[in-house]
Amino acid sequence: MTDCLKARMRGGSVIIGCWINLFDTLAAEIVGRAGYDCVMIDLEHGPGDVMDAISVMQVLQADCRPLVRVPANEAPWIKRVLDAGAEGVMIPAVNSRDEARAAAAACHYAPRGSRGMAAVIVRAADFGASWQDYVRRIEEEILVICQVESGDAVANIAEIVEVEDVDLLFIGPFDLSASMGYLGEPDHPDVRAAIARVETATKRAGKFLGGIATPERPADELVAAGYDLILQDSDLALLRDSARANVARLRETVRNSRGAG
């Protein structure tokens, strides 16, 4: 898979993706056909499980790659979503070098890591039909994403970015702001300063950088700051916002029509 997400980012592409929170296969298929480079299947805050994640993966177009956010930094979760076919894994709340090392190790087979070896049967390896090819290529193509979303993570960022097999640091501005005492204020000056610290350390270490836009910092500013992965939309929010906007327009039309009559 020469056009894996990691290779594209190395080539200078900015990857754009959409969160999957609804776990509806038709909605996921629509998102997958819209032109996103990837989806982030959210098992941390979404209601789905591994089988639901597989259902989403089955309806994606080949050029829309599946990433999965696991509920916690736990090897069994990481192993299961990789076996299911994820091209990359996002691990939430990585706050230290040891936690980053544990996350990276869980993503890779021995001797590089400690991922359980069941490639002879798993979906990711065509249920074992191409397991040798899978084992060979996934070690280089997998995207290991650690989330920076606490004051502790910011304080330890210089050590976290030095972990060899962590590929991308993803800043969670809303959780970060909450952990710093500014709940719901991702653009507070103190939070912005912490984010800038993470951005600088990440790029200096040669790692990829990811995040989401905030009310006062739109996606174009993230691109200008060197972000490699932007997960701006979610299937849930797209449906919610579109529905609310359409209802508002229709009610305005009704009011105007009655007034004209």
Q: Which amino acids are annotated catalytic?
A: 45
CA distance 149 to 45: 15
Q: Dmax over Cα atoms in the chain, in whole Å?
A: 77
3 state SS of 122: coil
**Nearest CA among 229, 233, 231 for reference residue 242:** 233
State whether the Cα torsion 42-48-51-54 is positive or negative. negative
CA distance 217 to 162: 27
- Contact call for residues 60 and 39 (beta carbons, < 8 A): yes
Alpha carbon dihedral 173, 177, 179, 182, in 10-degree steps, equals -170
Site of tokens 């509806």: 24
What does the DSSP assignment read for 198-255?
HHHHHHHTT-EEEE--BTTB-HHHHHHTT-SEEEEEEHHHHHHHHHHHHHHHHHHHHH
